[in-house]
């Protein structure tokens, strides 16, 4: 696959971020955006993210509708000086035909990129977390890139667009049977979950659907809570199309030992100098508390809820759950 210098530079920069905001579209054409860790593709031409086999909706949406996007808004932990803010719209290729290779890659690359997150987790504990590290990979072939140098969202972005002839490899075959779907608990009042979000997180990433049907996750410049949602200021140089919207609030430590997320789905209306998002519901999230004891309890609870899905999702793909001892895991030194 041909790449040019601007594309390679953007991919290299993007994959140094600890998190990206990955946006995909539901069957109804509504965006859903969650923070995921980005990695360089094995051919250096893609930005790759992953999701757990036990919560496969991010990948299943991409297999059905390969137009996805990645935002890079939080450079904490990247080691970059004067980092840009970027948005990448691309075509997704879903890889789940070899769960053993997927899991080995995830453990290898995440331990190398985020060693502190693994430093205090002994192997015997990791071995019990197959519900987490058994992975589906999503390879994103960039089609369009918006780039705000030094994160100056008040200025017009630089732009890159791939040749019209660029295509992405096909995804692995769709698994048989019915997906285990969302692992969300009972719905909660979004107002309770979003209380204090502005102070906790600052401006969110706003995802809408652009005029050509692509998800468009945009870091925002400012945010104000309203009675029915939030009002945000979009970056310069982009057009916001009113309609389905998603607000992604999140934060993490530089070493990714802890993180906090809040995802709110709703509808966007464009006003003079601001975008108003009426929130309809909060989606289930997966925070990792700063306190080690609370973090451990949270992981154990998540495991109890997700572990029953593991064998079922592997069986749908005609595979066995990978054994930790067979993955060749070595901690980064």
Q: Which tokens belong to 94?
A: 């879903």
Which domain covers residue 186, as residue numbers? 5-326
**What value does the mean pLDDT take over residues 156-167?**
92
Q: Please state the pTM of the whole predicted model.
A: 0.94
Q: Which tokens belong to 30?
A: 């509504």
Query: Which CATH number does the domain housing residue 80 bear?
Result: 2.30.110.10
Whether residue 183 lies inside any domain: the answer is yes
Whether residue 332 lies inside any domain: the answer is no
Whether residue 126 lies inside any domain: the answer is yes
The predicted-structure confidence for 183-198, as pLDDT tens digits, reads as follows 766 677 899 999 999 9
Token look-up 């890079």 returns: 72
Percent of the chain with pLDDT over 70: 95
Whether residue 179 lies inside any domain: the answer is yes
Q: Which tokens belong to 246?
A: 């998603």
Identify which of 177, 181, 17 has the alpha carbon closest to the alpha carbon of residue 83: 17
d(CA 293, CA 245): 35
The pLDDT, as a whole number, for residue 8 is 66
The predicted-structure confidence for 229-268, as pLDDT tens digits, reads as follows 999 999 999 999 999 999 999 999 888 888 889 999 999 9
d(CA 259, CA 288): 5
Whether residue 187 lies inside any domain: the answer is yes
d(CA 318, CA 98): 10
Band (2; pLDDT cuts 50, 70, 90): very low
The pLDDT, as a whole number, for residue 181 is 82
Position 155 pLDDT exceeds 90: yes
State the DSSP code for 103. H
d(CA 9, CA 13): 6
The predicted-structure confidence for 16-66, as pLDDT tens digits, reads as follows 999 999 999 999 999 999 999 999 998 888 999 999 999 999 999 999 999
The pLDDT, as a whole number, for residue 56 is 94
- Average pLDDT over the chain, rounded to an integer: 91
For 101, counting Cβ atoms within 10 Å of its Cβ (0-12 exposed, 13-18 middle, 19+ buried), the class is: middle
* Maximum CA extent, the chain: 58
Provide the domain count of the chain. Answer: 1
**What value does the mean pLDDT take over residues 169-175?**
97
Band (302; pLDDT cuts 50, 70, 90): confident
The predicted-structure confidence for 74-99, as pLDDT tens digits, reads as follows 999 999 989 999 999 999 999 999 99
Whether residue 104 lies inside any domain: the answer is yes
The pLDDT, as a whole number, for residue 1 is 42
Position 6 pLDDT exceeds 70: no
The pLDDT, as a whole number, for residue 202 is 96
Whether residue 172 lies inside any domain: the answer is yes
Whether residue 333 lies inside any domain: the answer is no
């Amino acid at each position: 696959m041909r790449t040019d210098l601007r594309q390679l530079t953007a991919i290299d920069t993007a994959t140094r971020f600890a998190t990206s905001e990955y946006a995909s579209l539901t069957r109804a054409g509504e965006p859903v955006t969650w923070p995921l860790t980005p990695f360089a593709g094995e051919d250096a031409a893609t930005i790759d993210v992953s999701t757990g086999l036990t919560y496969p909706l991010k990948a299943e949406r991409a297999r059905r509708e390969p137009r996805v996007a990645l935002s890079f808004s939080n450079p904490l932990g990247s080691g970059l000086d004067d980092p840009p803010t970027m948005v990448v719209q691309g075509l997704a290729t879903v890889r789940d035909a070899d769960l053993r290779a997927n899991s080995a890659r995830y453990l290898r690359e995440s331990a190398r990129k985020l060693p502190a997150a693994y430093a205090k987790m002994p192997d015997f504990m990791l071995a019990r977390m197959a519900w987490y590290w058994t992975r589906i990979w999503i390879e994103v072939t960039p089609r369009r890139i918006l780039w705000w140098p030094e994160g100056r969202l008040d200025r017009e972005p630089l732009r890159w667009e791939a040749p019209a002839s660029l295509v992405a490899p096909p995804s692995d075959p769709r698994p048989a049977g019915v997906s285990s779907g969302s692992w969300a608990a009972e719905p909660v009042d979004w107002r309770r979950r979003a209380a204090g979000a502005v102070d906790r997180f600052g401006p969110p990433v706003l995802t809408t659907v652009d005029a050509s049907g692509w998800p468009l996750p945009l870091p925002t410049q400012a945010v104000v809570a309203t009675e029915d949602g939030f009002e945000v200021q979009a970056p310069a140089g982009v057009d916001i199309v009113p309609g389905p919207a998603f607000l992604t609030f999140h934060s993490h430590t530089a070493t990714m030992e802890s993180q906090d997320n809040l995802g709110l789905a709703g509808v966007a209306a464009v006003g003079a100098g601001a975008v108003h998002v009426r929130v309809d519901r909060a989606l289930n999230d997966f925070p990792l508390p700063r306190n080690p004891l609370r973090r451990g309890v949270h992981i154990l609870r998540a495991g109890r809820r997700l572990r029953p899905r593991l064998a079922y999702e592997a069986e749908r793909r005609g595979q066995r759950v990978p054994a930790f001892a067979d993955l060749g895991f070595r901690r980064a030194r």
